[in-house]
Structure 1
Amino acid sequence: MIRVIGIDPGLKNTGWGVIDVAGSKLSHVANGTCVSDGSDLAMRLLSLHSQLSAVIARYRPQAAAVEQTFVNKDGAGTLKLGQARGIAMLVPAQAGLPVGEYSPNTVKKTVVGAGHADKVQVQYMVRLQLPGVELNGPDAADALAIAICHAHHGGASSFAAAVERARA
């Protein structure tokens, strides 16, 4: 079994979702949202770092997956999102976790079957693949979808296989 954390980076709301992967079986562990507020960018990033570090310390995942940033028309907004994404990649890397990266379309295609699925479809399929899950919100649902995508793309299973080989 391997524990995976999926992270949906955002400057105000960073979603996170933790699943256990045992072969093709997925189990929900926890999900939530790291929330930063205020106008000082440095303090918002520090808040996200602290909250995400606490999540990783509590749930002890063995692998992480982060959604890639898409470029939109607002260059300043894209740069700020990129800084939040940097925190989302830094925290698991600091914990020694391998970090996979997936585009939003890859996540949606893996979880829903369509690369341009909307949030409602993603949430429905996350609930279907993780029965009984109570979603903390749309950002947490997206983070669980990222973790599911990592599990299906072999990120979790190849890591588990490497650990088994190292133990032998």
Structure 2
Amino acid sequence: MTHRMPFSSAAPAFFQAQLKLTMAAKKGLGDDVLAELAVLRASQLNRCAFCIDMHVQNLRAAGVDQQRIDLLPAWEEAGDLYSERERAALAFTEAVTLLTWGSPRSSGAETGGGSVPDAVYERAAAHFTDVELAHLLAVIVAINNWNRINVTVRAQPGEKM
């Protein structure tokens, strides 16, 4: 597969704004590892090889155990490998990322036709302040933007944006 366009130079103002948006979202969350787990999970769901590669490298550089990285697609079945706070964030990430599909662990009916289920939101709200939850949501929105850009332009793992 070949890269379709150099997005960063084709839309430089948007690209720079998206970078700033991403940095502002992560800064307000205050937990870099949790943010990286969330963006990696969203990228897995969106099948963005470029972003998966980048965020796996970020987690390794942060000293996250390889088993936690490897088992992220099965986080709910991984026992105590992820904290309850991380599991709440991952469930929230999946619900926000898959708005029109429902959770990969549900029939989709529980989502109310394209919404984040109350139970998922309440679970996350029990572990995060309003400010933290707003920034987690912003992190998820930002990575979904990046995923859509990078999948569309066919950005390849390891290449420069």
TM class, shorter-length: 0.3 to 0.5
Name whichever structure is richer in strand by fraction. Answer: 1
**What is the TM-score of this pair, normalised by structure 2?**
0.32
Q: Is the helix fraction higher in 1 or 2?
A: 2
Q: Which has the higher contact order (CA 8 A, sep 6+)?
A: 2
